[in-house]
Amino acid sequence: MKKYLYRPGKIKSSEITPEEVFVKRREFLAAAGLAIGATGSVFPTIANAAVPDFGEIAKWPKSTVEKQTPWDQATSYNNFYELGTDKGDPKKNARRLITEPWSVEIDGECNKPGTYTLEDILKPHALEERVYRLRCVEAWSMVIPWVGFSLGDLLKRFEPTGNAKYVRFETLLDKTRLPGQQYPVLKWPYTEGLRMDEAMHPLSLIAVGLYGKALPNQNGAPLRLVVPWKYGFKSIKSIVKISFVESQPDTSWNLSAPREYGFYSNVNPTVSHPRWSQAKERRLDGDSKGLAALFSDKQETLMFNGYGAEVAALYTDMDLSKNF
């Protein structure tokens, strides 16, 4: 695939945060225990800003104890086509993604629709660290200590109605802040979806950080989804809209290549991608770097990425080779 080069553009005056809003945000984050870095910038926009230390973040008892992928590798080898199609492009172009201010629109089949600021989204939720595996459809995987809170707890706040059978998510659409959207690699904005019971499952996470630090732009700042039993592209980044819908929503990769990327996209070693096997994977754990990592020893792919005991019941009586 052709590699595109991006050049930073000027920030419009309309995109500059008013001083009074910036001050209020600083006050909120300080009250919430979110530390402000030495630069004076705050949690949503700074890749290395500290969120509460692990003394203030609950340790999730079910976290995997596998060796974690190092920070440098997890934040420099990324799929985020809005910032470029090569694995290193998202980090190189991350400065373009301005995440201050940020809001999320809630609509559809719920009793509390509206537009909620980042503070509205974060404030009621206690952060916790969950160490999850993340499996990419390209047959590589990472183990990352995410910082976030339950997606289900967030969705309950908006009181979905009985007509809400699915949840649809949407990424920011802005060709200046996300220059990859200048090119028709996918149909923009990026969209993803979950069945309601998948979204409400205790494993489904809204991530706001990793490794005890604020989520870097290249990893989907300031809010991203993490669904650890599904391939990584289901874990949509930089979320600006959540919709409760009655019918199964269209999703970006399924629209682009329906034979290759199904709606469910559960990690399944028995169902091959049309162009490669999913039976094995390469774990990126820092032992091998650069090109060496691409040729490191593979390990067996686990059904549901190893979370079968928790999630297999969601798919009872479903043919997972057809509903891939």
Q: Are 44 and 100 in contact (CB under 8 A)?
A: yes
Q: What angle do CA 297, 274, 132 make, to 5 degrees?
A: 50
Where the chain has pLDDT below 50, the residues are: 1-55
What is the DSSP secondary structure assignment for residue 187, as one 8-state letter? P
Residue 25 lies in a domain: no
At 119, which helix (H) or strand (E)?
A: helix 118-122
**Distance from the Cα of residue 309 to its chain's centroid:** 23
Cα 40 from chain centroid?
26
The total of other beta-carbon atoms located within 10 Å of residue 207's CB is 25
**Pick from 73, 77, 99: which is nearest to 89 by CA?**
77
Examine residue 22 and state whether it is found in any structural domain, yes or no: no
Q: For residue 200, which of 157, 246, 170 has the smallest C-alpha distance? A: 157
Q: What is the CA radius of gyration of the chain?
A: 19
Q: For residue 226, report the phi and psi dihedrals to the nearest 5 degrees.
A: -130, 115
CA distance 113 to 38: 37
Supply angle C-alpha 212, 242, 138, rounded to 5: 60
User: Domain range spanning residue 295?
Assistant: 54-315
Q: How far apart (Å, rounded) are the C-alpha atoms in residues 285 and 279?
A: 19
What is the pTM assigned to this prediction?
A: 0.83
Does the residue 111 lie in any domain?
yes
Q: Encoding tokens for residue 171?
A: 């990424």
Question: Do residues 215 and 225 touch, judged by C-beta distance below 8 A?
Answer: no
Classify residue 27: in a domain, yes or no: no
What's the structural domain count of the chain? 1
Would you say residue 37 lies in a domain? no
Spell out the residues 6+ positions from residue 237 whose beta carbon is closer than 8 angstroms to its own. 80, 82, 171, 190, 219, 220, 221, 224, 225
Has residue 30 been placed in a domain? no
Residue 303, domain member (yes or no): yes
For residue 32, the model assigns a pLDDT of 41
Give the type of residue at 6: Y
| Three-state DSSP class for residue 181 | helix
C-alpha 168, offset from chain centre: 14
- Which CATH number belongs to the domain containing residue 308 in this structure? 3.90.420.10
For position 48, what pLDDT does the model report?
37
Residue 322 counted as domain residue? no
CA-to-CA dists, residue 114 to 21, 110, 218, 309, angstroms: 19, 10, 27, 36
Q: Distance between CA atoms of 242 and 320, rounded to whole angstroms?
A: 26
Task: Name the H helices within 195-246.
Answer: 196-199
